[in-house]
Structure 1
Amino acid sequence: MIRQTLLAFAATAAVVSASEFKRELSPDRPDTTESPVSVEPGAIQIESSFWSFTRDKDAGITTETWTLGETNVKFGITECSDLQLVLRPWITERSKGLGMTDRLDGFGDVEVRWKQNFWGNDGGKTAFALMPFISIPTQTEVSTGEWEGGLIAPLSIELCDGVGLGLMAEIDRVWDSDKGRHEWDFVHTAVLGFDLTDSLGLYLEYIGNTGHGRYEATASAGLTWGQTENLQWDVGFTLGLNDAAEDFGLFQGVTFRF
């Protein structure tokens, strides 16, 4: 079984390395700010988190969450659009404090997204897109249990050679289980990306979230390494800047296309 897995990985790596594309690899991960560049028509791009971990302490209760294998599968539809399917195969959430212990496990809610690029797909100093999406409840222990959705608007700007700025605004219709109704959330982000070498990149990001709850402010940073033109590895962390935000997070993932 192990030998077959290794052979399958080697075959996939060979196909990924040999594939040729007009556009540079431009994944939505690992930062929160999405890329406005769509996948080329006929191509498939996989953006996967091997694992991610978050920890938060609020009102005397500490919550730790592990997410395994969260994957965004992208299908290039036209020269300026792609279809995306976001899957979260396994989520484990443990809460402890105030004399209680609780654990929730299951398959996370499924997202279907559409990216429509308006300019900058194949060159230029700026690029812009709109990304409507819906979230389909899986009705597991970690599911919200209700349909959600929203609209994402990412903008990228090339500041100078090797330095880029990404901005994103997002409006979401989310389920508030405490109030038993849907509410509006507004997410806004800004990220600076730096090319340290031809293959190594660094990003620094601010993430804000306001709406039905307290304002959440989060900082994020990470590294990317492009092993080939079609294969990129990443690692990063998040740090809560106020009490409302999650205290800390770590993640590691990969992006490849064929």
Structure 2
Amino acid sequence: MRKFAFLVLTASTLAATAAWADEAPICTDRPTKANSTCTVPKGAWQVEADGVNWTQVKASGLKAETTAVAAATLKYGLTDSSDLQVTWTPYLQARVKGPGVDDKTDGVGDVWIRYKTRVHAGDKVSVALLPYVKIPTAAKGLGNDEVEGGVAVPISIALDGATLTFGPQVDLLLDADGDGRHAAVTNVVNLARPVTDKLSLVGELWTSTNFDPADTVTQVSADVAAAYLVAPTLQLDAGANFGLNRDTPDAQLYVGVSKRF
């Protein structure tokens, strides 16, 4: 049923393409892990959703796979420079396989609430603030049942024919032993370049360091993606992330769609 609804949404928006010719192009926080500095226009709704998002980790003879289906972010434009965002995954599956092992856990994911406000919008540089909070709604075994939060500061720089985005972020997370909180610091360097008036290619380097008292863990990935503008308010995308050290998932693949109403 979820897959059918996803196909109906895509088909219906394709059929309405001609009516959007004069609208400003959609601006999204996907694909890749970087956040944009743009916001949804005041009074408008926008959906940014994964069709499927698959992640794989191999270690010690075991293979762990996580599959998220129809994870969606619903956005609403509050002002000309701010929006409210709610993200939820209706189906999430985590599976570990290996010699004598085949464990599977599935269910719904956590809810993430974000508020984005653009604090600077110059000719070359734009800056936004993006605080968030995670509401623990995930099924047992798919989350830590605790409220967590943080803030990102996306910074975009217009180059000659491309856009360079930096994404520093600080999170306050639950300690692994469940007693106390610690910080995690994330950054991303993202370069997006249009190839045609509809197709854009993106490359980025992502890093995250989790300062848990039990063990400090740093993850690094190289990410690539493509976004295709079917119509001014409809975008399709696909991407792949590749882990560059042993603490990072080996591979992550996804496809998605974004639509503004």
TM-score higher than 0.5: yes
Counterpart mapping for 1:165-184 below 5 A: 165-178=164-177, 180-184=179-183
**Where in structure 2 are the equivalents of 1:24-103 lying within 5 Å?**
24-97=25-98, 99-103=100-104
Matched, 1:238 2:241: yes
1:136 corresponds in structure 2 to: 135
Q: Give the equivalent residue in structure 2 for 1:228.
A: 231
- Give the drift of 1:4: 10
Confirm or deny: 8 A CA contact 1:113 1:133 kept in the other structure: yes
Given that 1:17 and 1:230 are in contact with CA atoms closer than 8 Å, whether structure 2 keeps it comes out as no
Aligned-partner Cα distance in 1 for 2:59–2:4: 46
Residue of structure 2 in register with 1:188 after alignment: 187
Is structure 2 residue 157 aligned with structure 1 residue 154? no
Residue 184 of structure 2: SS of its match in structure 1?
strand
Shift of 1:256: 1.0
TM-score normalised by structure 2 residue count: 0.90
Q: How does 1:12-27 map to 2 (within 5 A)?
A: 12-15=13-16, 18-19=19-20, 23-27=24-28
5+ residue gaps, structure 2? none
State the partner residue of 1:257. Answer: 260
Q: Does the CA contact (< 8 Å) of 1:60 and 1:97 recur in 2?
A: yes
Which amino acid letter does the alignment assign opposite residue 134 of structure 2?
S
C-alpha distance in 2, partners of 1:156/1:48? 23
8 Å Cα contact 2:21-2:231 kept in structure 1: no
Partner secondary structure for residue 214 of structure 1: strand
Distance change in 2, residues 1:188/1:223 (3 Å): same
1:25 aligns to what SS in structure 2? coil
Give the superposed CA RMSD.
2.4
2:214 counterpart of 1:215: no
Task: Compute the TM-score of the two structures, normalised by the length of structure 1.
Answer: 0.91
- 1:70 is aligned with what amino acid? A
CA contact (8 A) 1:44 1:75 kept: yes
Give the match for residue 126 of structure 2: 127
Shift of 1:214: 1.5
Question: In structure 1, the residue corresponding to 2:217 is in which secondary structure?
Answer: coil
Shift of 1:176: 3.4
Aligned mates of 1:4, 1:182 — CA distance in 2: 39
How big is the shift at 1:59?
3.5
Residue pair 2:95, 2:105 contacting (<8 A) in 1 also: yes
Letter matched to residue 169 of structure 1: P
- Unaligned residue ranges in structure 1 (runs of 5+): none
Contact 1:17 1:231 in 2 (8 A): no
The one-letter amino acid paired with 2:225 is: G
User: 1:248 aligns to what?
Assistant: 251
Q: Structure 1's 20 and 211: CA in aligned 2 closer, same or farther, altered over 3 A?
A: same
**Corresponding residue pairs, total:** 255
Deviation, 1:97, is: 3.3
